[in-house]
Amino acid sequence: MEIAKHPLPVSQKELEELGIGQPDFIIVSGDAYIDHPSFGTALIGRLLERAGFSVAVIPQPDWRSTKDFERFGRPRLAFLVNAGNIDSMVANYTVAKRRRDYDYYSPDGKIGKRPDRAVIVYCNKIREAYGDVPIVIGGIEASLRRFSHYDYWENRIRKSILIDSGADLLSYGMGERAILRIAELLERGIPIHKIRDVRGTAFIAERDYKPKGAIIRLPDYKTIASDKLKYASSFKTQYQNCDAVGGKILCELYDEGMLVQNPPSLPLNTAELDDLAQLSYTRKPHPSYGKKGIPALTEVEFSITHNRGCFGGCAFCAIAYHQGRAVTSRSIDSVIEEVELLAKQPDFKGYIHDIGGPTANFRTGPCKAVAEGKKGVCTDRRCLSPNICPNLIKDHSEYLELLRRASAVKGVKKVFVRSGIRHDYVMADKAYGGMFVEVLAKRHVSGQLRAAPEHICPEVLSLMGKPSYEVYEKFVARFNAASKKAGLEQYVVPYLMSSHPGSTMKSAERLAAYMQKNRVRSEQVQDFYPTPGTAATVMYYTGIDPFSNRKVYVATSPEEKRAQRALLGQKKPIAHRKNRRRK
Give the pLDDT band of residue 574 (cuts 50, 70, 90): very low
CB distance 499 to 507 below 8 Å: no
* Sheet strand arrangement including 491-498: 448-454, 491-498, 524-527
C-alpha–C-alpha distance, residues 32 and 9, integer Å: 13
87 has a pLDDT exceeding 90: yes
Distance between CA 357 and CA 306 in Å, rounded? 6
- Distance, in Å, from the CA atom of 574 to the CA atom of 521, rounded to the nearest integer, reads 6
What's the CA gap between 336 and 380, in Å, rounded?
Answer: 38
Q: What is the model's pLDDT at position 523?
A: 60
Report how far residue 418's alpha carbon sits from residue 414's, in angstroms, rounded to the nearest whole number. Answer: 12
Range of weakest confidence among 36-40, 123-127, 151-155, 447-451: 447-451
571 pLDDT tier (thresholds 50, 70, 90): very low
Is residue 508 within 8 A of residue 555, CB to CB? The reply is no
What is the Cα–Cα distance from 95 to 528, expressed in whole angstroms? 8
What does pLDDT average to over the chain? Answer: 93
Mind listing the domains of the chain with CATH numbers? 12-198 (3.40.50.280), 302-444 (3.30.750.210), 447-583 (3.30.750.200)
Interval 191-214: pLDDT, tens:
999 999 999 999 999 999 999 888
Predicted local distance difference test score (pLDDT) of residue 522: 63
Q: What is the DSSP letter of 497?
A: E
pLDDT category of residue 569 using cuts at 50, 70 and 90:
confident
Q: Is 453 helix (H, G, I), strand (E, B) or coil?
A: strand
pLDDT of residue 581: 31
> Is the pLDDT confidence value at 578 over 60?
no
Average pLDDT over residues 179-196: 97
180 vs 418, higher pLDDT: 180
CB atoms within 10 A of CB 94: 12
pLDDT over 50 at 576, yes or no: no
Confidence at residue 159, expressed as pLDDT on a 0 to 100 scale: 98
Quick: pLDDT tens for 376-397. 899 888 999 888 999 999 999 9
Integer distance in angstroms from the first to the last C-alpha of the chain? 29
Sign of CA dihedral 227, 229, 230, 235: positive
Contacts of 550 (CB under 8 A, 6+ apart): 544
Please list, in sequence order, all residues whose beta carbon lies within 8 angstroms of the beta carbon of residue 56, skipping any fewer than 6 positions away. Answer: 8, 9, 10, 15, 20, 23, 25, 26, 27, 72, 75
pTM above 0.75, yes or no: yes
Query: pLDDT per residue over 226-246, tens digit each?
Result: 999 999 999 999 999 999 999
pLDDT at 572 over 70: no
Strand 257-261 with 249-254, pairing: antiparallel
- Residues 521-543: tens digit of each pLDDT: 766 788 999 999 999 999 999 99
Bond preceding residue 264 cis, omega within 30 of 0: no
CB of 172 within 8 A of CB of 138?
yes
| pLDDT above 70 for 413 | yes
pLDDT of residue 583: 35
573 pLDDT higher than 90: no
> What are the two backbone dihedrals, phi and then psi, of residue 165, each rounded to the nearest 5 degrees?
-85, -25
| Distance separating alpha carbons of residues 239 and 243, to the nearest angstrom | 8
The pLDDT of residue 577? 31
pLDDT tens-place string over residues 25-79: 999 999 999 999 999 999 999 999 999 999 999 999 999 999 999 999 999 999 9
Cβ–Cβ < 8 Å for 372, 338: no
User: Cα–Cα distances in Å, from 50 out to 8, 44, 162, 371, 372?
Assistant: 12, 10, 28, 29, 29
Tens digits of residue pLDDT in 289-335:
998 999 999 989 999 999 999 999 999 999 989 999 999 999 999 99
Cβ burial of 347 (10 Å; 0-12, 13-18, 19+) is exposed
What DSSP string runs through 228-249?
HHHHHHHHHHHHHT-STTTPPE
- Non-local (6+) Cβ contacts of 291 within 8 A are none
Lowest model confidence (mean pLDDT) among 204-213, 291-300, 441-450, 562-571:
562-571
